Amino acid sequence: MNNDALSYPPRGLSREEAARYIGIGPTLFDEMVADGRMPRPKLINSRTIWDRVTLDIAFSSLPDKDSGLQELLDRSKQKAATR
């Protein structure tokens, strides 16, 4: 009995799997691939497959949501400049 197939995550992901892995829908995933925020796929025969490791790297490179700190600093600078 071979349970190896379930013992580790796949390295290659389909378009739908890659989008789900990142946490978005396929349409947004396509846009992000087109604009370079997500990596281009690899071609295996006629299949397009995304490398899970390169998805991790691209995801880590995305900007964090602004915590509001920069906005507070900018307002503080504006108030100081008007004094």
pLDDT for residue 65: 78
Distance CA 51, CA 55 (A): 6
pLDDT for residue 13: 97
Q: What is the pLDDT along the chain (83 residues), one digit of tens a residue?
A: 456 666 788 999 999 999 999 999 999 999 999 999 999 999 999 999 999 999 999 999 998 877 666 667 777 777 777 76
Distance CA 58, CA 79 (A): 38
Edge-to-edge order in the sheet of strand 12-13: 12-13, 47-51, 42-44
